[in-house]
């Protein structure tokens, strides 16, 4: 059984145990050993939870259970519900772009709101791309209050 089959089977069992119905589960391998999973469901708010707490917990359970079934083979998963994270990511990158423009215009460092390690990493990676040679990003703060600062080099 390959990793995609294990992920799908494990997720289906988890959703069944939670009593959550779903329309479709899509699994794509983005890069080597990175899997994006999207669940289409009428119960999106239940699965996402307050500030994405449930989706994080479900993702963690899926990862741990799947690792055990593959004898601890290492792979990474990103779980999404009705493209919730995809929309969030687009919003974060749009905000990042506005902050980059403000930093370039004013010369002043720009602060983004506190966010998860996943989104902070997305911002850092985005700002390392082509066209951002003049931009530097730093993470500041502790725990749940950790945030990104965008400034000119």
Are 103 and 145 within one domain? yes
What is the pLDDT of the chain when averaged over all its residues?
Answer: 92
d(CA 106, CA 128): 21
d(CA 118, CA 93): 12
Structural domain tally of the chain? Answer: 2
Are 104 and 61 within one domain? no
Are 34 and 95 within one domain? no
Local confidence band at 73 (pLDDT 50, 70, 90 cut-offs): confident
Task: Inform me whether the pLDDT recorded for 51 exceeds 90.
Answer: no
Task: Inform me whether the pLDDT recorded for 23 exceeds 80.
Answer: yes
Q: What is the CATH number of the domain that holds 31?
A: 3.30.300.20
* Residues sharing a CB contact under 8 Å with residue 38, sequence separation 6 or more, in sequence order: 25, 26, 80, 81, 82, 83, 86
Final residue of a structural domain among 57, 82, 107? 82
Residue 40: which domain range?
Answer: 3-82
Are the C-beta atoms of residues 21 and 59 closer than 8 Å to each other? no
Final residue of a structural domain among 29, 60, 82? 82
**How far from the centroid of its chain's Cα atoms is residue 119's Cα?**
6
Are 66 and 130 within one domain? no
Final residue of a structural domain among 82, 108, 141? 82
Average pLDDT value for residue range 43-70: 91
Helix (H/G/I), strand (E/B), else coil: 84: helix
Are 100 and 38 within one domain? no
Average pLDDT value for residue range 31-52: 89
Average pLDDT value for residue range 5-16: 95
Average pLDDT value for residue range 61-70: 91
Per-residue pLDDT of 37-47, as tens digits, reads 999 999 899 99
Task: Inform me whether the pLDDT recorded for 71 exceeds 90.
Answer: no
d(CA 90, CA 151): 21
Are 9 and 78 within one domain? yes
Q: H helices then E strands: how many in the chain?
A: 5, 6
Are 102 and 71 within one domain? no
Are 118 and 68 within one domain? no
Are 97 and 141 within one domain? yes
Per-residue pLDDT of 87-141, as tens digits, reads 999 999 999 999 999 999 999 999 999 998 889 999 999 999 999 999 999 999 9
Average pLDDT value for residue range 71-93: 90
Helix (H/G/I), strand (E/B), else coil: 145: helix
Strand partners, 36: 28, 78
Are 78 and 97 within one domain? no
d(CA 88, CA 96): 12
Q: What is the CATH number of the domain that holds 147?
A: 3.30.1370.50
Taking alpha carbons only, the member of 64, 62, 56, 61 closest to residue 88 is 56
Are 74 and 125 within one domain? no
Are 46 and 93 within one domain? no
Task: Inform me whether the pLDDT recorded for 85 exceeds 80.
Answer: yes
């Amino acid at each position: 059984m390959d990793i995609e089959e294990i992920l799908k089977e494990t997720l289906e069992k988890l959703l069944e145990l939670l009593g959550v119905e779903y329309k479709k589960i899509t699994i794509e391998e983005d890069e080597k050993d990175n899997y994006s999973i999207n669940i289409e469901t009428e119960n999106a708010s239940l699965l996402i939870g307050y500030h994405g707490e449930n989706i994080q917990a479900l993702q963690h359970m899926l990862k741990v259970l799947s690792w055990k079934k593959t004898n601890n083979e290492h792979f990474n998963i990103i779980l999404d519900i009705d493209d919730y994270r995809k929309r969030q990511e687009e919003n974060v990158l749009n905000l990042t772009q506005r902050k980059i423009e403000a930093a370039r215009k004013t010369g002043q460092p720009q602060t983004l709101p506190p966010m998860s390690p996943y989104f902070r990493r997305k911002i850092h990676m985005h700002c390392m791309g082509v066209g951002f040679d003049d931009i530097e990003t730093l993470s500041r703060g502790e725990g749940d209050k950790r945030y990104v600062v965008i400034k000119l080099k």
